[in-house]
Amino acid sequence: MIDVDVSRAEKFLSEENLHQAKVTAADALKTVRQQNGEGAEWLGWRSLLDDPNDAILEQLDRLGTAIREEADVFLVCGIGGSYLGARAVIEALSPFFNQEAPEIIYVGHHMSGGYLQELIEYLDTPKVDGEPKSVYCNVISKSGTTLETALSFRKIRNWMGNTYPDSLQQRIICTTSSEGGALNKLIDEYDFQKFVIPDDVGGRFSVLTPVGLFPMAVAGIDIRSLFYGAVTEYEKLENEAEILINYAAVKYALYQKGKQMDVLTSFEPELSGLCGWLQQLLGESEGKKQKGMLPVTASYSTDLHSLGQFMQDGSRTMMETFITVQKSDTSFTVEETESNNDELNYLAGKSFHDINSKARKGTISAHTEGGVPCISVNIEVLNASQVGAFIYFYELFTAVYCYCLGVNPFTQPGVENYKKRMYKLLDK
Amino acid sequence: MIDVDVSRAEKFLSEENLHQAKVTAADALKTVRQQNGEGAEWLGWRSLLDDPNDAILEQLDRLGTAIREEADVFLVCGIGGSYLGARAVIEALSPFFNQEAPEIIYVGHHMSGGYLQELIEYLDTPKVDGEPKSVYCNVISKSGTTLETALSFRKIRNWMGNTYPDSLQQRIICTTSSEGGALNKLIDEYDFQKFVIPDDVGGRFSVLTPVGLFPMAVAGIDIRSLFYGAVTEYEKLENEAEILINYAAVKYALYQKGKQMDVLTSFEPELSGLCGWLQQLLGESEGKKQKGMLPVTASYSTDLHSLGQFMQDGSRTMMETFITVQKSDTSFTVEETESNNDELNYLAGKSFHDINSKARKGTISAHTEGGVPCISVNIEVLNASQVGAFIYFYELFTAVYCYCLGVNPFTQPGVENYKKRMYKLLDK
């Protein structure tokens, strides 16, 4: 269950403004539920939780587990909503220094020739025991024509065709739309395995479809727990959404008051990816009609040593959102040393988790006093089920908050602009 | 030689505003040169280029090379200015998939107990050939009491003491102030090797001292080329700094016009770390007296698929800075395929570098037309010498731009605020 503490942000708002914003947010939630807002044809991220498809979960899990047992390297070839969700969850729930195969490598998320060339050299290099690497690839693209992904996939596909002439068909798994598009043509050509992206789910809302779930399954994440964590949060919020309404109201009222940026941060470095996923979810949904607060990511306490000065004393244009984990392992503690030359013995016996929590509390207190409205979004414990709940909570939050702003949460018309110019320069 | 194109940003400014800003920027540069501004006691990052100390470069290079030959893992233990510069340069100039020892691992940059515990487990795990790992550690801290670094270093030092009882003294290298502070006490206790951080160089301006140069040397970077690239840029800018003055003037005038954020980005993923270094350099220098533009980092084209919508159509509060590399390897090209099912044959024979450059040009054109002032900062070719030039260029730029704003570029009083509260919560 996701909990939100807005008490340190509310006090920057008048009672009147906050009350108005709450009325607006409650209406926005109704609009989502009644499916009568702009973009209502894109609400598939709700219906898939309302009526879970266990057969697909089973299929994803079975193939994911089989590849996990066989692969040395698993390539996730996608960009934006096609990989940010999977990466976020895999980073949040996997060890920092993962020594178990398969190694997960992201590709198709930019057009660096150097990266792609060196990746292929790396894949070509035998393992330490002299055996060739066993490589699988999941390419994820609704249209199949997103340039970064399609170009990288052409290179990877050619390399894999040369390297694994007899097993190419098993080694490439496509996640794409039910029909149409370039990937479906390649599936017809090569007979690749396929997972379907529902037509009514947009890229940044697709993490609980095969887009996100399949790479997670290969990485060893319990995707059933994750998915049903989201289902539970969905059911909870259908009955009672006061926390979410208040949160959307406070953020909306802060925007109305002139806040220009929302710095999304956590004191847990493994949640950096989740902040990155959230940055797309919010930014691409709200950044329209010259509106919105730019979502900026930071990782604390690391970035307090680069952005902390600005957060404390720079232009007062931002709010801050802290993603926190309430319960954590406290067995890793500071040891005593005899000389105490580093003067840290006063912390001996304390857990790193406890010290890190105090750093977070000190930061929130200092930034609030410095004029930054701070909101805490709390995950009780970091596991698949809670991360699933977090994902749905923010999907619904984003839709509600965007309807408050008066923008369609589900389109991204501005993204086409640079593509048009790029294609013109490329003589397409 | 660093070149800057401000033509697409200037047109958002009136001639009068720009002229005024140029006068202010030229004065600010004089203030730096005449050493009569606030914080003039912190100009050591200039004097060390004015009078290069080849003996130290030689010493850093010799020890760095020796450790490079011996180590499996090299730990860089520091936070903020103590590691961002080294990481930036190492990422920019090393292969993406580095298969050569030593593996460089950063630690001491947050207080995640999970990270530290798993790191130690990883260090404890033998290599694939069954041999134990050979680990070296460079701890970097002017005071030695920065909590994240000091706590991590206590853990690492204890683990290394147990693991390498006979060679601990050679395996730990301290970079710290000439005298005083907790690290110097530990040096006295253990007889660790030491490099000195000059007293007149602050953390975020310290990349061209042993702080940055030693980890780079271990990573195999040509630190002499890097340092003398900076020296050449220094000498050039002492004679002729019109490009830098114009750039500072345009950025300052855009700030005066109400721009709240500067999105620092590159289409080369290996420059992400350099954008992170720049984020600290600018943000911690300018974010004072409730002034400054928040520096935000992005990596394109990746983040066009998350932030692109907002950059094109969201609130018009930002400017954008593109770090570009002009010349690059163009031998890695798109192949033709027979079926052309992905419809990319129109790009066959084109290099990835060329396609990526067109994406950049398309983006700059689209964002400019969307109302975002765009500046390009151009590195001719990505090598150590040019990166050195880039570093000094931005150090001087930051000082000049901050004097335009009327803030002391070299202090960070706001950073103490959260620390005070944290220490109080920790009963220090």
Whether the per-residue pLDDT at B245 is higher than 90: the answer is yes
Question: Which DSSP category does A319 fall into?
Answer: E
Residue B87 placed within a domain: yes
Q: Tell whether A198 is within 8 A of chain B (Cβ).
A: no
Distances (CA, A) of B328 to A212, B99, B324, B377: 34, 22, 11, 16
Residue A337 placed within a domain: yes
Residue A423 placed within a domain: no
> Which residues of A are marked as active site?
284, 305, 419
Contacts of A346 in chain B (CB under 8 A): 426-428
pLDDT bucket at B128, cuts 50 / 70 / 90 = confident
ipTM reported for the complex surpasses 0.95: yes
Which pLDDT score, from 0 to 100, does residue B24 have?
A: 98
Mark whether A51 and A65 lie in a shared domain: yes
Residue A415 placed within a domain: no
Q: Tell whether B68 is within 8 A of chain A (Cβ).
A: no
Q: Please answer whether residues B353 and B406 qualify as being in contact, where contact means their C-beta atoms are separated by less than 8 angstroms.
A: no
Which pLDDT score, from 0 to 100, does residue A4 have?
A: 98
Mark whether A251 and A125 lie in a shared domain: no
Share of chain A above pLDDT 70, in %: 100
Both structure tokens of B112: 């995640």
H/E stretch holding A297: strand A294-299
Mark whether B77 and B168 lie in a shared domain: yes
* Distance separating alpha carbons of residues A398 and B416, to the nearest angstrom: 35
Alpha-carbon distance B239 to nearest alpha carbon in chain A (angstroms)? 31
- Of A175, A192, A221, the position where a domain reaches its end is A221
Q: Do B97 and A118 touch (CB under 8 A)?
A: yes
Counts of helices then strands in chain A (DSSP H, E): 17, 10
Secondary structure (3-state) at B404: helix
Report the pLDDT averaged over residues B115-128: 96
Residue B106 placed within a domain: yes
Report the pLDDT averaged over residues A67-91: 98
Q: Do B421 and A344 touch (CB under 8 A)?
A: no
pLDDT bucket at A128, cuts 50 / 70 / 90 = confident
Q: Do B417 and A366 touch (CB under 8 A)?
A: yes
Whether the per-residue pLDDT at B258 is higher than 90: the answer is yes
Residue A101 placed within a domain: yes
* Distance separating alpha carbons of residues A107 and B397, to the nearest angstrom: 35
pLDDT bucket at A427, cuts 50 / 70 / 90 = confident
Whether the per-residue pLDDT at A319 is higher than 90: the answer is yes
Question: Which strands sit side by side in the sheet containing A172-177, from one edge to the other?
Answer: A103-107, A73-77, A135-140, A172-177, A193-197
Residue B51 placed within a domain: yes
Torsion of CA B194, B199, B202, B205, to 10 degrees: -70
Has B103 been annotated as catalytic?
Answer: no
Secondary structure (3-state) at A77: strand
N residues, chain A? 428
Nearest Cα residue to A116 out of B343, B89, B379, B270: B270
Counts of helices then strands in chain B (DSSP H, E): 17, 10
Residue of B nearest to A361 (CA): B422
- Of B184, B206, B221, the position where a domain reaches its end is B221
CATH number at residue A137: 3.40.50.10490
Which pLDDT score, from 0 to 100, does residue B136 have?
A: 98
Q: Please answer whether residues A374 and A320 qualify as being in contact, where contact means their C-beta atoms are separated by less than 8 angstroms.
A: yes
Mark whether A24 and A103 lie in a shared domain: no
Report the pLDDT averaged over residues B199-221: 98
Q: Tell whether B346 is within 8 A of chain A (Cβ).
A: yes
Both structure tokens of A143: 């249209």
- Of B201, B221, B241, the position where a domain reaches its end is B221
Mark whether A336 and A244 lie in a shared domain: yes
Please, which residues have CB within 8 angstroms of residue B162's CB and are 6 or more apart in sequence?
A: none
Partner A, chain B 203-262, Cβ-Cβ below 8 Å: 204, 260-261
Nearest Cβ partner of B283 from A119, A306, A346? A306
Averaged confidence pLDDT in chain B: 97
* Distance separating alpha carbons of residues A254 and A373, to the nearest angstrom: 8
| Per-residue buried b or exposed e for B345-360, using 16+ beta carbons within 10 Å of the residue's own CB | bebeebbbbbbbbbbb
Q: Please answer whether residues B25 and B385 qualify as being in contact, where contact means their C-beta atoms are separated by less than 8 angstroms.
A: no
Whether the per-residue pLDDT at A354 is higher than 90: the answer is yes
Residue B413 placed within a domain: no
Contacts of A268 in chain B (CB under 8 A): 112, 114
Q: Please answer whether residues B232 and B389 qualify as being in contact, where contact means their C-beta atoms are separated by less than 8 angstroms.
A: yes
Q: What is the pLDDT of residues B14-67, one digit of tens each?
A: 999 999 999 999 999 999 999 999 999 999 999 999 999 999 999 999 999 999
Long-range contacts of B382-385 (CB under 8 A, 24+ apart): B382/B92, B382/B93, B382/B268, B382/B270, B382/B325, B382/B328, B383/B93, B383/B225, B384/B89, B384/B93, B384/B221, B384/B222, B384/B223, B384/B225, B384/B226, B384/B229, B385/B225, B385/B226, B385/B228, B385/B229, B385/B232
Mark whether B154 and B196 lie in a shared domain: yes
Q: Tell whether A30 is within 8 A of chain B (Cβ).
A: no
Mark whether A189 and A233 lie in a shared domain: no
Mark whether A127 and A180 lie in a shared domain: yes
Q: What's the domain count of chain A?
A: 2
Q: Please answer whether residues A152 and B342 qualify as being in contact, where contact means their C-beta atoms are separated by less than 8 angstroms.
A: no
Mark whether B59 and B173 lie in a shared domain: yes
Q: Looking at A82-134, which runs of residues are DSSP E strands?
A: 103-107
Residue of B nearest to A336 (CA): B154
Domain containing residue A355: 3-36+227-405
Q: Do A329 and B114 touch (CB under 8 A)?
A: yes
Nearest Cβ partner of A304 from B119, B260, B418? B418
Which pLDDT score, from 0 to 100, does residue B427 have?
A: 87
* Distance separating alpha carbons of residues A182 and B340, to the nearest angstrom: 9
Q: Is omega for the bond preceding A266 within 30 degrees of 0, making it cis? A: no
Which pLDDT score, from 0 to 100, does residue A428 have?
A: 83
Angle, vertex CA A321, rays to CA A318 and CA A326, nearest 5: 155
* Distance separating alpha carbons of residues A400 and A39, to the nearest angstrom: 12
* Distance separating alpha carbons of residues A23 and A30, to the nearest angstrom: 11
Both structure tokens of A140: 């994820």
Report the pLDDT averaged over residues A278-286: 98
Residue matched to tokens 């097993």: A167
Mark whether B105 and B137 lie in a shared domain: yes
Mark whether A200 and A248 lie in a shared domain: no
Share of chain B above pLDDT 90, in %: 96
Q: Tell whether A347 is within 8 A of chain B (Cβ).
A: yes
Mark whether B22 and B87 lie in a shared domain: no
Q: What is the pLDDT of residues B328-354, one digit of tens each?
A: 988 999 999 999 999 999 999 999 999
